[in-house]
Structure 1
Amino acid sequence: MNILMALSQLEVTGAEVYATTAGDELTQRGHNVFYVSDTLTKPHQGPFFKLRFNKRSIPRRFWHVGYLVYLIKKHNIQLVHAHSRASSWSCHLACKLTGTPMVTTVHGRQPVHASRKKFHAMGDKALPVCEAIRDQLHNDLGVSLDSMIVSRNGIETTQFTHQAAPNNNKPVITIIGRLTGPKGELCYRLLNECLDSNKYHIQVVTGSKVETRFEPFQSTITFTGYTDDVPSMLAQSDLVIGAGRVAMESLLCGRPTLAIGEASCIGIVDTNNIAKAMASNFGDIGPKDLDIDFSLIAKQVELGLSAAHCEQPVSQLVRQNYDLNNIVNQLEQTYQTIYVEKIQREMPIIMYHRFIKDDSEKGVHGTYMHVDMLEKHFKLLKRMKFETLTFKDLADNGLIRRLDADKRYIIITVDDGYQDNYELLLPLLKKYNFKAVVYCVTGENFNRWDVEVPSNPEKQVTLMSAEQIKQMHDSGLVEIAGHTMTHPRLDQLSVEQQRSEIVENKAQLESLINDSLTSFAYPFGDHNQDSKELAQELGYQFAVATNQGPLAMHQDPFAIRRIAIFPKTDVFGLWRKVRGNYTFRKAKR
């Protein structure tokens, strides 16, 4: 996807670190990430455009909106991700004008006034970084809980490993954070009221200019300036004082950590208060700002210095909840949901069964397609500039890649594995260089499930041989996939019967093609929760149904909708079904 990260800042902030860290991971995953902000200090991948969001006069704001519209159109931006109040206000209007999906990560408490209550300006989804912000948005500004998802700060956890306790002659206490705004006031009071520089070696790590009020401390306290090597700084510290990202990184290194921020003092983080710490972004967010009893800080400092490390379960919990890979996975899920729901389009997945050469091969049920019409379908897909994917492609590259800018993707699926798939479909796939997914039944030689039915029996049709299935796979154009042994209605079977049908079919196909299977199709589209859980448990990454499941396929990879193609689906009918909004229009009927 083409993603625009929008910030408003004049110095390094946690929002910038979050945006660029997540942005770089998104870039590594194949997305194109652009940045727009007043300044951008942290090294990053992707183009940066300077825009003075902090200049907030009415004419300036109109200019901001106009420039954002220009960037969105010029770079075909598919989603805007804002990270501050000033940028989100302008982005909200620009996205309204262009119809672009938008999310806003909310890093701190929001001002409460009448206009803010009426005009949230957060786009399609708000992503508060902790529960305290979510609750404030809901209680004070009336933002609905349905329009929010808690999305924590992502950390490259592999860069922060458990550190041995330092062997300092004098305990080293490290304070990390800005010296401006509320954090600057907090730091000043800690130095002035709580920390004894005769007992401790105190160092302040900051990228901010040291203001005049801090000058009296410079003879006894070290102001190190900004550092890129945070792990080394943490490793030499007996106690780290900070909030938000600082506290998380310190705990990942196993350092005793005093979580104190703009709102509250959590205290030394342990298993008893870790949930409270996470909910408040480690003291940065609370019901009101700077609600701290500074007379208690000295005891907390001594408590922290009495331990060589923080508790191991605390480090593990932080690693689990703030791991960058997990957070960006969540972001990609959110991006997909917002994008698909906003534009009301999804990659089409079409479903064929068997193919015929003349009318004598027609069946009783509408599960056939004349090969001449199939070729007309393929010609239309070529004219519409579709590229075919398989589920293995999605497994290798990520579901979100189906939404790549300037691309039109489609998945062609074919159920049951009839012999005509080899004789008629494969030559056309080769001719048009298309791929397809063929779901094969392996416990039958013909379509017994349709033939041996007392009412309305189907014509007998031969299934592919083992050698034909292997040749389909070896062509490089066909993903062979699972479809059970005997094509039963799974929702009418016991769990063990379902397991047998799925396991044996998968084992036979994998042995035959000497490759693992990626996707599975429920016979008749019928399934229950047991079917879905079995498919996942047995190693499938995707399972397809027919008309069941969410409209956005990523929301349940084990109940993916497909669009049925019938004998009377002509070229115009196919065009209607593959434009992208067919399932959305059908769901509204």
Structure 2
Amino acid sequence: MNILMALSQREVTGAEVYATTVGDALTERGHNVFYVSDTLTKPHKGPFFSLRFNKRSVPRRFWHVGYLIYLIKKHKIQLVHAHSRASSWSCHVACKLTGTPMVTTVHGRQPVHRSRKKFHAMGNRALPVCEAIYTQLLEDLDVPPDTMTVSRNGISTDRYQWTDAPENTKKVISIIGRLSGPKGDLCFRLLDECLDLEKYDVKIVTGTQPTERFDRFKTKADFVGYVEDVPGMMAKSDLVIGAGRVAMESLLCGRPTFAIGEAISIGPVTEETIEHAMATNFGDIGPKDLDIDFSMIAQQIEQALSSPHCEKTVTEKVKDNYDLDNIVTQLEDIYQTVYVRTRRREIPVLMYHRFSDSEESRSDMAPYIDIAMFEKHLKLLKKLGFETLTFADIQKNGLISRLEEGKRYCMITVDDGFKDNLTLMLPLLKKYNFKAVVYAVTGIDYNKWDVEHPDTPEKRFDLMNPAELKELSDSGHVEIGGHTLTHPHLDRLPREKQHAEITENKNQLEELLGYPLVSFAYPYGDWNDDSQSLAKEAGYQFAVATNSGPLAFHEEPFLIRRIGIYPGTDVFGLFRKVIGNYLFRKVKDETYHG
């Protein structure tokens, strides 16, 4: 995807570190990430555009919106990810005018006033970084809970290693954070009221130039300035004082950590305080404005210095909750949901069955399509610029790859595995350079389920034998998927019989084809909880249904909706089904308010 990160930074902050960290990880996954901000100090991959969001006069705001619209159109931005109030307001307006999906990571408590309640200006989804912010957005600003997702700061946890305790002759205490705003006030009070600057070697690590009020501490404390190697600095510290990312990174290094921010003091982070620390972003955000009791801090610092390390269980907790790879995977999922539901577009997954080239080969009741019409379908897809994906492609490149900018993807799926898939369909796939996924039944050699139907018996049509299935697979145009042994209604079978139908069919196909199957199709589109869990246990990565499942492809990979193709689906009928929001028009979704 083409993603625009929007910030309003004038100095290094946690928001900037967060945006560039996840942005670089997204870039490594193949996304194109752009940045727009007042300044951007942190090294990053991807183009940067300067825009002075902090100049907030009415003419300036119009300029901000206009420039953002220019960037969105010029760079074909598919989603905007804002990281501050100043940038989110302008982005919200620009995205509304261009129809661009937008999310906002909320890094701190929001101002509460009437206009803010009416105009949240956070796009389609708000991503509070901790539970305290989530609660404030819900209770103070009336942000609907179904438009919010807690998304924690992502950290490159492998960059931070547990380190041996330093052998300092004088205990080193490092205060890490900016010196402006409330954090600057906090640092001043720590130096003035809480820390014995004669007893400890106190270092202030910051990207902010100290103001005059800090002058009287400069002979007693070391104002280090900006440090690129933060882990190295932490490794030399007997105690790290900070909030947000600073505290998390310190704990990953195994350092004793005192979490205190502009809202609340957690004190030493231990097994007893880690949940509270996480819920408040390690002291950065409280449930409301709180007064910190500075009289207790000196004693608590002594307590924190008594141990050479933090507890390993605390470090593991931070790894589990803030691992960058997990956070970026969550973000990709959120991006997909917001993009698909805002644009009301999803890649069409077409469902075919049999192909006919004569009167005798037409079904009486079961779905089929004339091969001449199928060729017209392929011509239309080619004319509209569609390329075909298989589930092996999705597995290799990730679900979000289907939304690649400048591409128009669809999937052709074909149920049951009839002989005409080889004799009639494959030549046309080769002709138009398309791919398909064929779901094969292996326990019977003809459409017994239709022939023996009690109410609407069908003519007999043969399924492919193993050699034909192998030939189809070896063509390079067809991926084979599982479809059970005998094509039963799975939801009518006990679990053990479902297990046999699903796993034995998969084993037979994998032994024949020599590669693991990626996807499975529920016969008739019928399933229950056992069907889903058994497909997962069998090792499938995806499963397709028919008219059930969420409208967004990625939201339940074992209930992917498909668009049925029937004898009456002519070229115009197919056009209606693939051109845009067919499923969204067909199925009214009441659960999303983006």
Using structure 2 for the length normalisation, give the TM-score: 0.98
Deviates more, 1:288-297 or 1:464-473: 288-297
| Secondary structure at the counterpart of residue 224 of structure 1 | strand
Deviations 1:30-66 (A, max 9, x none): 1111111100111111111111101111111111111
Runs (5+) with no aligned partner, structure 2: 590-594
Contact kept, 8 Å, 2:356 with 2:369, in 1: the verdict is: yes
Displacement of 1:176: 0.4
| Secondary structure at the counterpart of residue 225 of structure 2 | coil
Alpha-carbon distance in structure 1 between the residues aligned to 2:290 and 2:525: 57
Displacement of 1:147: 1.4
| Secondary structure at the counterpart of residue 203 of structure 1 | strand
| Residues 1:531 and 2:528 aligned together | no
Q: Which residue of 1 aligns with 2:368?
A: 368
Contact kept, 8 Å, 1:176 with 1:205, in 2: the verdict is: yes
Contact kept, 8 Å, 2:135 with 2:287, in 1: the verdict is: no
Deviates more, 1:205-214 or 1:546-555: 205-214
Q: What amino acid does structure 2 have at the position aligned with 1:233?
A: M
Q: Which residue of 2 aligns with 1:90?
A: 90
Alpha-carbon distance in structure 2 between the residues aligned to 1:268 and 1:126: 30
| Residues 1:103 and 2:103 aligned together | yes
Displacement of 1:198: 2.2
Alpha-carbon distance in structure 1 between the residues aligned to 2:559 and 2:341: 18
Contact kept, 8 Å, 1:366 with 1:567, in 2: the verdict is: no
Q: Which residue of 2 aligns with 1:16?
A: 16
Matches within 5 A, 1:148-547: 148-289=148-289, 291-547=291-547
Q: What amino acid does structure 1 have at the position aligned with 2:223?
A: F
Displacement of 1:401: 1.1
Alpha-carbon distance in structure 1 between the residues aligned to 2:213 and 2:122: 37
Alpha-carbon distance in structure 1 between the residues aligned to 2:316 and 2:263: 25
Displacement of 1:588: 3.5
Deviations 1:404-453 (A, max 9, x none): 11111000000011111111111111111101000011111111111122
Alpha-carbon distance in structure 2 between the residues aligned to 1:426 and 1:51: 54
Contact kept, 8 Å, 2:485 with 2:501, in 1: the verdict is: yes
Q: Which residue of 2 aligns with 1:36?
A: 36
| Secondary structure at the counterpart of residue 35 of structure 1 | strand
| Secondary structure at the counterpart of residue 142 of structure 1 | coil
Q: What amino acid does structure 1 have at the position aligned with 2:515?
A: D
| Secondary structure at the counterpart of residue 116 of structure 1 | helix
| Residues 1:575 and 2:575 aligned together | yes
| Secondary structure at the counterpart of residue 111 of structure 2 | coil
| Secondary structure at the counterpart of residue 351 of structure 1 | strand
Contact kept, 8 Å, 2:133 with 2:287, in 1: the verdict is: no
Displacement of 1:518: 0.5
Alpha-carbon distance in structure 2 between the residues aligned to 1:226 and 1:472: 61
Runs (5+) with no aligned partner, structure 1: none
Alpha-carbon distance in structure 1 between the residues aligned to 2:149 and 2:517: 34
| Residues 1:73 and 2:73 aligned together | yes
Q: Which residue of 1 aligns with 2:592?
A: none
Equivalenced residues, count: 589
Q: Which residue of 2 aligns with 1:586?
A: 586
Alpha-carbon distance in structure 2 between the residues aligned to 1:507 and 1:226: 59
Q: What amino acid does structure 2 have at the position aligned with 1:41?
A: T
Alpha-carbon distance in structure 1 between the residues aligned to 2:538 and 2:454: 34
Contact kept, 8 Å, 1:241 with 1:258, in 2: the verdict is: yes
Q: What amino acid does structure 2 have at the position aligned with 1:99?
A: G
| Secondary structure at the counterpart of residue 138 of structure 1 | helix
| Secondary structure at the counterpart of residue 361 of structure 1 | coil
Q: What amino acid does structure 2 have at the position aligned with 1:19?
A: A
Displacement of 1:111: 1.0
Q: What amino acid does structure 2 have at the position aligned with 1:304?
A: A
Displacement of 1:289: 4.1
Q: Which residue of 2 aligns with 1:4?
A: 4
| Secondary structure at the counterpart of residue 55 of structure 2 | coil
Quote the RMSD (CA, aligned, Å).
Answer: 1.1
| Secondary structure at the counterpart of residue 359 of structure 1 | coil
| Secondary structure at the counterpart of residue 405 of structure 1 | coil
Deviations 1:46-102 (A, max 9, x none): 111111101111111111111111111111111111110110111111111111111
